[in-house]
Amino acid sequence: MNKFVPIVVSSVCSALLAVFIYKCFESPKMVYIEDAGASPVYTNFGEADPFSGRLQRTFLSSSPTDFIAAASVVTPAVVNIRAVESTNYSWWGAGSFGASSGSGVIVSPDGYIVTNNHVIEDGNKYQVTLNDRREYSAKLVATDPYTDLALLKVDDKDLPYMVFGNSDSLKVGEWVLAVGNPFNLESTVTAGIVSAKGRSIDILEGDYTIESFIQTDAAVNPGNSGGALVNTNGELVGINTAIITRSGKYEGYSFAIPATLVQKVIRDLRDYGEVQRGLLGIHIGAINSEKARELKLPYVEGVYISGISPGGGAEDAGLKAEDVIVGINNVKIRTIPELQEQVGRLHPGATISVDYIRDGKRKTAQVTLKDKNQATKLTVRGDDREILSRLGFSLRELNTDERRKLRVSGVYVEGIEVGSTIEKTEMDAGYIITKVGEVRVSSVQEVINELKKRRGKEVYLEGFYENYPGEYYYTFEIK
């Protein structure tokens, strides 16, 4: 036994010596920790009714690049939507019929479905088919043309649904999946990477449009509209909306609405029947090299304020024309889409920190957002201002300078929504209402009071435009 002791001691000493020598010559290793830098947020559809209660991870989802698990999770929650437009046939056989189709995503177990507005806008009946071929008739909850989103509802429980992810944590180059129902096929999955963020492609119309798309090269075809863009963890990070193509087919450029914006819009559609938009109260423009030099900017980035809306949050906070916004709530702002996306997530009444540059110096202002009627309260069904939203125009009182210059009392039409009752009268923004019927008005509340008295009746407005001679009259019906 004693003869083995020297051998064991010698072996141990040799091993320790070998480890010591290896450590002396080994190069130091770098350990990389990936962190998306995003704050945790709830991934459920509604704050008041947490369907999942799960928290968004703060690390990147793209590693490992295994698409199998994600695809198996999300495909049951992606549906086909068939929108049918039909009119009643008369005794003589007159009538019309048309149909369009696209995709949608179930976002709650009790049947709320998000899709694109352009998928359903031409229909009045909606047929939803799940991946397992179950069929439902859906009702339209509400739409928002300014973000091209719509919310449908089917009556059932325990449906497969998709969990929201944090689109802010997406990185350019990260793998994503596009899931939809192109050409009426059952759920189809394609893969690609995030090509860019904050893209604007000028496809939406109106004064309050928000275009801050996630661009990917995942194959998206016409029937994919309204379908899901998901990360490799199977979380919804966008709603596929558009492609850029010259052939009419997929060419490598597809665009999705970020999930952080989608959540806010569809929650508003569910709770209020319309989107509660918080507005800065500014007119904006892009920054180029010449403008950057003129305004003494350190970089060619930011959002130029070309004008201030009277009575808006920006005016109250002291912002002025020719200021350049470079940050919102400590988030760097480089482009107009980035500004629109950050503000578009917030409600009237929210106070935000705005970083801006004036005369080459960086400053900060606290701005309380207001709605299009310069109010800070949310518009609840039945509120006075709901009637303005339904008719589709925003009003404000004339300011002191305007009253002095025009020598008249009235109410200024600041904006008109595309496709609204007011737009169909061919009224333009800038119209100054002086009478509702035979009653003179000088405040927004007086206009609202007179409109409420005329529900179900025909209304005519009398007024004028500052730069055009004569009186102008507009007639419409309040339903």
What single letter denotes the amino acid at residue 159? L
Residue 228 above 90 pLDDT? yes
Q: Which distant-in-sequence residues (6+ apart) come within 8 Å of 446 by Cβ?
A: 411, 436, 439
Q: Residue 324's pLDDT is what? A: 94
Highest mean pLDDT among 131-135, 352-356, 394-398: 352-356
Shared-domain flag, residues 49 and 146: yes
14, part of any domain: no
The mean pLDDT value of the chain amounts to 81
Shared-domain flag, residues 242 and 161: yes
Q: pTM for this one?
A: 0.70
Q: Residue 403's pLDDT is what? A: 83
- Indicate the residue among 247, 274, 301 that finishes a domain: 274
Best CA proximity match to 259, nearest among 355, 176, 349, 372: 176
Shared-domain flag, residues 337 and 397: no
How many domains, in total, are found in the chain? 3
- Indicate the residue among 254, 274, 294 that finishes a domain: 274
- Indicate the residue among 274, 294, 320 that finishes a domain: 274
Where in 259-328 does DSSP place strands (E)?
Answer: 282-286, 303-308, 324-328
449, part of any domain: yes
Q: Residue 137's pLDDT is what? A: 92
Q: Residue 25's pLDDT is what? A: 55
Residues written for the chain: 479
Known active-site residue 359: no
28, part of any domain: no
Q: Residue 381's pLDDT is what? A: 58
CA dist., res. 74 & res. 179, Å (int) = 8
Better-scored residue on pLDDT, 473 or 63: 473
Residue 266 above 80 pLDDT? yes
Residue 186 above 50 pLDDT? yes
In a 3-state reduction of DSSP, which class is residue 128?
strand
Structural domain of 257? 41-274
The one catalytic residue in 144, 148, 268, 323 is 148
Q: Report residue 67 CA to chain centroid gap.
A: 27
Known active-site residue 118: yes
Q: What is the CA radius of gyration of the chain?
A: 28
For 52-105, write each residue's pLDDT tens digit. 444 455 445 555 567 888 888 899 999 999 988 765 544 444 444 556 788 999
The one catalytic residue in 101, 167, 212, 225 is 225
Known active-site residue 225: yes
Residue 113 above 50 pLDDT? yes
Question: Residue 6: is the preceding peptide bond cis (ω within 30°)?
Answer: no
24, part of any domain: no
Q: Residue 236's pLDDT is what? A: 93
